[in-house]
Amino acid sequence: MLRLFLGLTFNSGYTRRLCTLMEGVDGVHWQPQDNLHLTLRFLGDVSLDDAEDLDAQLARITAPAFDLALQGVGWFGIGDRVQNLHALSRPDPILDGLKRQVDRACQHAGFAPEQRKFKPHITLARSRAVRLESAQTWLADHVDFRLNMGDVEAFHMISSHSSGAGRAYRVEASYPLTQMWA
């Protein structure tokens, strides 16, 4: 079994700039720079056979490469408990179209439809016990955050593994996007 998700990864020069946001909230676990990504679809534990079936479906996707821009920050949680601090993607019809194709490929490979609404973001920190009031200053300080993440030229099937420092990610397969500017 593999613990898998589908997502976008970025050049370390861009992720290094995201790391400048990673301070100022006590009690959260800031993500390692190497783990910064944008999840298109979380799959969970997947058999090798199912991963191969999905790989064949994902290889059929044709979508254009695009330039991803981040705009602002946000949080997810339950009540006033923060579970996730993140940088938000600016609305992008190409990203939304890629997400729809990824969801169709997953369904054709036998995975259940996605239940959560897609809110594209890059997780910067995780928490279990931090209250929203502890993150309010950070959220306000970075409300105008903007960062161009560069050209997205592929999406990836990524496995997640336990490590001494949390989770480690490994790209299992990559799916190139079409270059529109040849």
CATH number at residue 170: 3.90.1140.10
| Angle between helices 48-58 and 93-108 in degrees, nearest 10 | 130
Residue 151 resides in a domain = yes
**The one catalytic residue among 29, 37, 86, 108:** 37
Would you say residue 182 has pLDDT above 60? no
Active site residue 142: no
Q: Which pTM value belongs to this model?
A: 0.94
| Structural domains in the chain (count) | 1
Buried b (16+ CB within 10 A) or exposed e, 53-73: bbeebbeebebeebebbbebb
Residue 102 resides in a domain = yes
Q: Using one digit for the tens of pLDDT, what is the confidence trace for 85-142? A: 999 999 999 999 999 999 999 999 999 999 889 999 999 999 988 999 999 999 999 9
Q: What is the dihedral of CA 75, 21, 23, 83, to 10 degrees?
A: 20
pLDDT value of position 165: 67
Residue 170 resides in a domain = yes
User: Mean pLDDT throughout 145-169?
Assistant: 90
User: Which two tokens mark 24?
Assistant: 């100022």
Which amino acid would we find at residue 175?
Y
Where residue 167 falls among pLDDT bands split at 50, 70, 90? Answer: confident
Residue 181 resides in a domain = no
User: Which two tokens mark 42?
Assistant: 């979380």
Q: Where are the alpha helices (DSSP H) in 109-176?
A: 132-141
Q: What is the dihedral of CA 167, 33, 136, 78, to 10 degrees?
A: -20
pLDDT value of position 160: 93
Where residue 42 falls among pLDDT bands split at 50, 70, 90? Answer: very high
**The one catalytic residue among 29, 86, 108, 121:** 121
User: Mean pLDDT throughout 146-162?
Assistant: 95
Mean residue pLDDT across the chain: 94
Range of the domain at 25: 2-176
- The values of phi and psi at residue 21, to 5°, are -85, -15
Report which of 168, 170, 166 is spatially closest to residue 29, judged by C-alpha positions: 166
Residues of the chain above pLDDT 70, percent: 97
CA dist., res. 78 & res. 97, Å (int): 29
- The values of phi and psi at residue 65, to 5°, are -65, 155
Residue 182 resides in a domain = no
User: Which two tokens mark 49?
Assistant: 């056979």
User: Mean pLDDT throughout 26-43?
Assistant: 96
CA dist., res. 71 & res. 120, Å (int): 11
